[in-house]
Amino acid sequence: MRKSIVITGASKGIGRAAADPLAEQGWSVIGVARSSPQHFPGVFIETDLADQNQTYALAKDLAARGDVFGIVNNVGVARHETIDAVDFDVFTTMMDLNVRPALQLTQTLLPGMRAARFGRIINVTSLVTRGLAFRSSYAAAKAALESLTRTMAIELAADGITANAVAPGPTETELFRANNPPGSEGEARYLKGMPMGRFAQPSEIAAAIAFLAGDEAAFITGQTLFVDGGASLGSL
């Protein structure tokens, strides 16, 4: 059975890193983001997932392929804010982009997954759902996605479809480093909460995503796998 998997937010960072092990695993990889990377191990579709209509058009095209049995819902946006300074227009945007495309795309792909009696849904959440300062809107959105993962899992288990979440801790992506350069106050704040004393590499998060997409994880569903160097356990 030919099987394709979609990765949203696939132009860089964790999404781009996940494409390589998934391709090596035998998936035909379809990347989605607003702009294409220079190199990608599969098909790439430029779409703005912040636009509900563009997302719907993409979902219809993906469903029409008939071979998309996996999705990595990775697209998202974060914001640094204190609880007393949350802007509600921003809050609405954060909730929308971090949750709505995951539901919108997955929902459209379900008939094909059900017909195949096989599916892999992997939602990229975050360590922030366990509580982290300056992440009010982002944490609320990722917690909603984590909860949605469990609902998907229990409703779809009988159809041979698994749904799990991967929750990264601070990861050394281009965006993270742009906001927290070496020697900065932000870097020091994050490292203080890392028992391993370092940040994750995108490839380490990608390995967890690939595992949950593989045949060996067929009996794992409704779980959130924290890939965070022990940060969710607390600091020493």
Summarize pLDDT for 114-162 with one digit per residue, the tens.
999 999 999 999 998 988 777 788 999 999 999 999 999 999 999 999 9
Q: Would you put residue 166 in left (φ > 0), alpha (ψ -120 to 50) or beta?
A: beta
* 190 included as an active-site residue: no
Domains of the chain: residue spans and CATH: 4-225 (3.40.50.720)
pLDDT of 8 above 80? yes
DSSP-derived 3-state class of residue 217: helix
Catalytic residue among 40, 69, 118, 138: 138
Read off the pLDDT of residues 67-101 as tens digits, 9 standing for 90 and up: 999 999 999 888 787 888 888 998 999 899 999 99
Query: How many CA atoms does the CB half-sphere of 8 hold within 13 Å?
Result: 30
Average pLDDT over residues 201-230: 97
Q: Which residues, in sequence order, are CB contacts of 129 under 8 Å at separation 6+? A: 139, 142, 143, 146, 167
Amino acid at 125: T
Locus of tokens 């990861």: 171
The strand pair at 119-124 and 42-46 is best described as: unpaired
Query: 164 to each of 32, 79, 84, 208, 211, how far by Cα in Å?
Result: 20, 24, 32, 11, 11
Query: How far is residue 142's CA from residue 148's CA, in Å, rounded to a whole number?
Result: 10
